[in-house]
Amino acid sequence: MNIGKQLKEGLITQNPVLVQLLGMCSTLAITTTISNGIGMGLSVTAILTLSNVFISLLRKIIPEQIRIASYIVVIAGFVTMVDLLLQAYQPDIAESLGVFIPLIVVNCIILARAESFASKNKVLPAAVDGICQGLGYTVVLVVMSAIRELLGSGSLAGARVFPADYAATMMALPVGGFLTLGALIALMQWIQNKAKGGK
């Protein structure tokens, strides 16, 4: 087990959003404010870690033919728990994330990690994988939502940076999501190419 390698994969070389291009729907939809980004990122990280652990535990019991359905049942269980917890303790975030918390059930990052990692590895590496991939997702979400919140509504984490009259509202609309995501993916490719060329 190599935590450093898994962390590097989650954050950079196998970043779920910028390299694997998974979980696009929620990434584009909810990254309008930093609090949304953090809330969504941490929810996904928690669900991903827990479902990775459980699927890794059950990996010898789950029959090959119905594995996807079984994964979904496990994931849906944790999503329901997180959804209800958020509604109970963080009602503001739960309201602003809306349908995207229940939709984590079909978030392909979680299913992809279950299929490609948790079902083939022991519990501890699976848990670390969940945390690392979840962190990669969270970091991208926070960066994206910071850019979009700053340019789109002129504030950062709710604090006003410049008057809202000057903010480009397009950046808070879906257009801004696609523009920011495209720019970040390009930046990631550029960094990775630089790193390869440097060797």
Footprint of another protein (CB under 8 A): 165-171, 175, 179, 186
Question: For another protein, which is the closer residue by CB, 57 or 179?
Answer: 179
Q: Shortest Cβ distance from residue 171 to another protein (Å)?
A: 7
Ramachandran quadrant class, 167 (left: phi over 0; alpha: psi -120 to 50; beta: rest): beta
Q: Shortest Cβ distance from residue 182 to another protein (Å)?
A: 9
| Helix axis angle, 108-116 to 123-153, nearest 10° | 160
Q: Shortest Cβ distance from residue 136 to another protein (Å)?
A: 25
How far apart CA 128 and CA 124 sit, in angstroms, is 6
Question: For another protein, which is the closer residue by CB, 132 or 184?
Answer: 184
**Strand runs labelled E in the chain:** 155-156, 159-160
Q: Shortest Cβ distance from residue 176 to another protein (Å)?
A: 9
Q: Are strands 155-156 and 159-160 parallel, antiparallel or unpaired?
A: antiparallel
Tokens 């975030």 map to which residue? 93
Supply 124's token pair.
């501890």
Question: For another protein, which is the closer residue by CB, 85 or 170?
Answer: 170
Question: For another protein, which is the closer residue by CB, 1 or 170?
Answer: 170
